[in-house]
Structure 1
C-alpha cells in the first residue's frame, strides 16, 4: 500500500535490558543487540526516503544506572559509529548529536564533533542521536541563553531559535518500544503535535515489519493541529 511518510521520525529505543534478562543474558548483551537494530532502522528509513531520524540514545536520567553499564554504553556508541563511518558516508547519512554534549568527557565530545564533521556533507538522511539529552534540560538551557542575551520579546520562534538543533523540524511521529506509554522527557517542546505510537515489542526485536506497522498507522491518522477539517464527520 502507498503510505504517507513522516518527514521526521523519532524513536524511544526501550527494552534492551528486559530483552537480555528474558534470555538469561547480561544487560550489555541487550545493548549490543539494540545497537544492531538502530543500524537496521537507520538503513530502512534512508531507503524509504525519510529525511530525519532521531534516536533517544542516552538521557540525562540514565546517569542513575550502574557506572559499568554507563561506560559500556558510551564505548559501544563510539566503537559502533567509528567502525561504520565509511558506510555512513557511502550511504550519505549525516550524524548529529543533541543534548548536553558539552558535559561529557573530552574524548566523547571530540568524537561527537569528529563524526559530525566527517558526515557534514551527507544529505540523504539526518541521523540525530540524543545523547545526555533531556527535554526539560533543553528548555532550561534555552531559557538561560535567552536571559544571557537579554532579549525582551520572547515567543515560540525565539525559544525554538535557542533549542539544541533549531533547524530540526518537529517530529511528525514518535515511536516507543517495550510497552511503556510515556515520553520520558524526550523532545518535550518539539512533540506538542507529534503523533505517538506505542508497541509492546522490545527494541532488540523491532523489525522492518514493526516499522511498517508504525508508518502505516501514522499514515491513517488525520493531523488537525487544532483546526477543523472540512467534510469530516
Structure 2
C-alpha cells in the first residue's frame, strides 16, 4: 500500500436497497448487509493509515422513506453500536456523531452517546457517523449557534468551529458507491478540495480490495488544492 494515504476518507454508503432488490431480498436485508460491510471496510481503512473515516448512514432527507424502513434503520444503528462498539474501542478508534439530534428517539441518542463516551480517549483513529445529517442543515445549525452566542462577525474560522464535530478535518477522498455521481449534501463544508471516487458496485458488494483500489487511485492524483 502506498504511503500517500488520505487523512480523512468520507464514504457515501449507497445502494443497499438496490442490492437487496437485485438479490430478491427484502430492503431491510440490504441495510443489514451494508452495516457489516462498513465495519470491515472502516477497520481496514484505519489499518492502512487513514486517521478519519466518515460514513453517510442516514440523511435528513431519509425521513421521507417508508415508516417501516426508517424505524428499522433507527433500530439497526442501536444494534450495530451494541454489536461493534467493543471492536472499535479495542482497536483504539474514537466514535463521534455528525448530524442533528432533533427527531432522534431516546434509544438512538443513548446508543450514540454511549459510543462517544466510551471511546472519547482513543487516539488511533476517528470514525464519524453521519446520522440524521444534511450538509445544508449543518451549515444552518452552525450559523444559528453563532447567533445564539451573540456573534456579530462571521468568518470561515468561526463557522468551522461551529460545525458538527469541529475537530473532524476536511475530507481528502470521498467514495460513493452504486454508480451515482453526486455528493447529495455529504460534507458540504468539508469537501472543498476532496478527491471524488465513484464506484459502480452497490455498497453491500464493496470490498476491502475496492477500498485499496480507491486509495491507490487517490495516491496517483496530483492534488493542487487551489494552487
For the criterion TM > 0.5, the same-fold answer is yes
How far apart are the structure 1 equivalents of 2:95 and 2:64?
Answer: 26
Q: Which runs of 5+ in 1 are unaligned?
A: 228-233
Does the CA-based 8 Å contact 2:81-2:112 persist in structure 1?
A: no
Does the CA-based 8 Å contact 2:134-2:185 persist in structure 1?
A: yes
How far apart are the structure 2 equivalents of 1:123 and 1:85?
Answer: 15
Structure 1 partner of 2:149: 149
How far apart are the structure 1 equivalents of 2:91 and 2:148?
Answer: 40
Structure 1 partner of 2:100: 100
Q: Which runs of 5+ in 2 are unaligned?
A: none
Does the CA-based 8 Å contact 1:94-1:122 persist in structure 2?
A: yes
Structure 1 partner of 2:13: 13
Specify the structure having the higher radius of gyration (Cα): 1
Structure 1 partner of 2:39: 39
Question: Size of the alignment, in residue pairs?
Answer: 227
- Asked if 1:49 corresponds to 2:49, the answer is yes
User: Shift of the alpha carbon at 1:3?
Assistant: 4.3
User: Shift of the alpha carbon at 1:33?
Assistant: 0.8
1:101-140 matches, within 5 Å, as 101-140=101-140
How far apart are the structure 2 equivalents of 1:221 and 1:186?
Answer: 22
User: Shift of the alpha carbon at 1:86?
Assistant: 2.1
How far apart are the structure 1 equivalents of 2:66 and 2:21?
Answer: 16
How far apart are the structure 1 equivalents of 2:62 and 2:165?
Answer: 21
Aligned alpha-carbon RMSD (Å): 1.1
Structure 2 partner of 1:219: 219
Structure 1 partner of 2:70: 70
Name the SS for the 2:130 alignment partner: strand
Runs in 1 of length 4+ with deviation above 6 angstroms?
A: none
How far apart are the structure 1 equivalents of 2:86 and 2:145?
Answer: 36
Structure 2 partner of 1:231: none
Does the CA-based 8 Å contact 1:100-1:132 persist in structure 2?
A: yes
- Asked if 1:185 corresponds to 2:185, the answer is yes
